[in-house]
A and B are shown apart, each in its own frame.
Chain A
Amino acid sequence: MKKKYKLPIIASGPVHPLQEEMEFFQLYVDGETVVDIDVRLSYNHRGIEKISESLQFDQVPFLVSRICGICSASHPLAYVQAVEEIAGITPPERALYVRTIINELERIHSHILWVGLAGHFIGYETVFMWAWKYREPVLDMLEKITGNRNNYGNVKVGGCREDLPEGIDAEINPILDQIEKKMDMLTKAVLDDPILHARLKGVGVLKKEDAVAYAVTGPTARASGIPIDVRRDDPYAAYDLVDWNVCVQKEGDVFAKAVVRLLETFESIKMVRKAMAKLPKGPIAVEVKEIPPGEAIGHAEAPRGETFHYVRSEGGNTPARHKARAPSYVNVPSFKASCIGEKISDVLITLAAVDPCYSCTERVGVVERHTNRVIFDFDKLLQLSREKTEKIRKGI
């Protein structure tokens, strides 16, 4: 079948630029309240599962690392764990620690990024600029260790592709100390700010029973009182070899989700320190000759929740079937439960609390239910969200 791209039939004319439903998220409103949500997933669909079937087992990590830019360490890890389970391979202990360190560093910079974006959406521009400035040293560290700020390409079937560079522990610990101090200041500022309390508490609540029905994972679930974390429930890498805590809140609102992410950043900093201190000497990978027929699953806790991969091998060089599930796939539909009934000014921050990718958040459109006209785009929603924060600030 020759895939031909066809130009749209509807001409642009005197029509609202967004009228052709080009939006990823469409929110239907009655007056100021959201009554329904529709999502068009096909913008980002690249057919990764089919591409996997034509790549060799050791080429697939490079592909899945690019499913999502900011969970790019956990996707290859989950995939590689599935393949190792099929072949009955156990990577060397040093490799487990290196995998843990890289995944936790990614969690740190991903959560700080989220804090910045949340600030941006409610009008705290200083928090945005500041958070993104303070995540840069983590990216520099990752570049020193793996060669790239994102898309590390560090994991392979049997272990890691490269070892940590010499002397990295002398560089990493001062940076972790610095970030911890700054995050401490930010966390106290968030927890004590009455305007943030008024703005975020009780907003976008995801009740526990809805969280279970929508099968959510990660901070979205932990903020609604569901104490699940793949790192503790089904330990992988070195998570059962270092001490750490699962962070849970009960309220399920945006504030609870922010608190969970802030607390997890501290846990991740502690984990990296402990993993660096306990890092054993030894080889970084085992040799893998072939992958026998079989099937297995691998899962990892990405910053957004559980990444789940299923791999089936028929004894050849390529996977016979590869299923990749990103955490946002189950978290984003829960937006329906947490956003219906909310006002338009709270839509952006409720969506951001689920932590979908930034580009998906940009493509939000609000449709007036009776006329089916797109009345607000991302810019307008951003403006409404910031205006609400200003009104609260003046009220107090």
Chain B
Amino acid sequence: MNWKIWSLKKSPWVFHVNTGACNNCDIEVVNCLTPKFDVERFGVTLVGSPRHADALLVTGVVTAQAAPRLIQAYQQASKPCVVFAIGACACGTGIFRTGYHVVGPVDKIIKEVDPNAIIAFVPGCPPKPEAMISGIVKMLNAL
């Protein structure tokens, strides 16, 4: 197995990007780090820059203002990079489908720059931390 993939699977470092979310998903992402769920024991840790990240945790519908920032974060992340679309908004814009300022969802924007991007969807509003952990594990097993 490619050693990059191996190290990603062993200890994925994640960078969180909010592209216009109500914050519920973001708080549940941070919840994953806290004692009840404690993902750090699996080697998952939040990093401060996309350049150090193996995975992007993207929340939000992708507003027109946030789209360039999402693309920039994706381009800066070292490949291979997995994009997790967390929450109903990121998976398919959810209830904000008809919003005039909404250009998402996440996979549409990412595929504009990289048609072969690896994207995983974790639906929910917000997805429970257990669902997020389960999504991450399933994705890593599929790599």
Interface residues of A (CB under 8 A from B): 3, 5, 7-8, 12, 17, 20, 22, 40, 42-48, 50-51, 54, 62-63, 66-70, 72, 113, 128-130, 132-133, 136, 148-151, 357-359, 362-363, 377-379
Q: Closest CB-CB distance, B122 to chain A, in whole Å?
A: 15
Given contact pairs A40-B65, A132-B31, A45 touches B20 in the complex (Cβ within 8 A):
yes
Contact stretch, chosen from B4-12, B67-75, B135-143: B67-75
Q: Contact: A151 with B126, CB < 8 Å?
A: yes
Q: Contact: B34 with A129, CB < 8 Å?
A: yes
The interface size of chain B toward A, counting residues with CB under 8 Å, comes to 47
Q: Closest CB-CB distance, B64 to chain A, in whole Å?
A: 6
Binary per-residue interface labels of chain B (99-143) against chain A in the complex, 1 for a CB within 8 Å, 0 otherwise: 111110000010000000000000001101000000000000000
Which residue on chain A has the smallest CB distance to residue B124? A148
Which residue on chain A has the smallest CB distance to residue B70? A22
How far is A70 from B25 in the complex, measured between Cα atoms in Å?
Answer: 10
State which residues 12-30 of B face A: CB under 8 Å. 16, 18-28, 30
State which residues 21-50 of B face A: CB under 8 Å. 21-28, 30-31, 34-36, 48-49
Q: Contact: A70 with B27, CB < 8 Å?
A: yes
Q: Contact: A48 with B68, CB < 8 Å?
A: no
Binary per-residue interface labels of chain B (79-91) against chain A in the complex, 1 for a CB within 8 Å, 0 otherwise: 0000000000000
Q: Closest CB-CB distance, B58 to chain A, in whole Å?
A: 12
Q: Contact: A63 with B23, CB < 8 Å?
A: no
Q: Closest CB-CB distance, B73 to chain A, in whole Å?
A: 9
Which residue on chain A has the smallest CB distance to residue B19? A43
Partner of B99, one of A47, A62, A359: A47
Chain B residues, CB < 8 A from A50: 99-100
Q: Contact: A12 with B63, CB < 8 Å?
A: no
Q: Contact: B23 with A45, CB < 8 Å?
A: no
Partner of A12, one of B48, B75, B95, B101: B75
Q: Closest CB-CB distance, A233 to chain B, in whole Å?
A: 27
Chain B residues, CB < 8 A from A5: 64, 67, 103, 109
- Is B56 in the interface zone, CB < 8 Å from A? no
Which residue on chain A has the smallest CB distance to residue B51? A17
Q: Closest CB-CB distance, B30 to chain A, in whole Å?
A: 7
Q: List 11 A-B contacts (CB under 8 A).
A: A3-B100, A5-B67, A20-B68, A42-B63, A42-B65, A43-B63, A45-B63, A45-B65, A50-B99, A70-B24, A132-B30
- Is B53 in the interface zone, CB < 8 Å from A? no
- Is B55 in the interface zone, CB < 8 Å from A? no
Partner of A68, one of B23, B68, B75: B23
Q: Closest CB-CB distance, A53 to chain B, in whole Å?
A: 10
Q: Closest CB-CB distance, A366 to chain B, in whole Å?
A: 15
Which residue on chain B has the smallest CB distance to residue A359? B18
How far is A7 from B102 in the complex, measured between Cα atoms in Å?
Answer: 15
Q: Closest CB-CB distance, B18 to chain A, in whole Å?
A: 4
Q: Contact: B98 with A51, CB < 8 Å?
A: yes
How far is A72 from B125 in the complex, measured between Cα atoms in Å?
Answer: 12
Which residue on chain A has the smallest CB distance to residue B48? A379
Q: Contact: B34 with A8, CB < 8 Å?
A: no
Given contact pairs A20-B68, A22-B69, A129 touches B18 in the complex (Cβ within 8 A):
no
Q: Contact: B20 with A43, CB < 8 Å?
A: yes
Q: Contact: B66 with A43, CB < 8 Å?
A: yes
Given contact pairs A50-B100, A149-B128, A133 touches B68 in the complex (Cβ within 8 A):
no
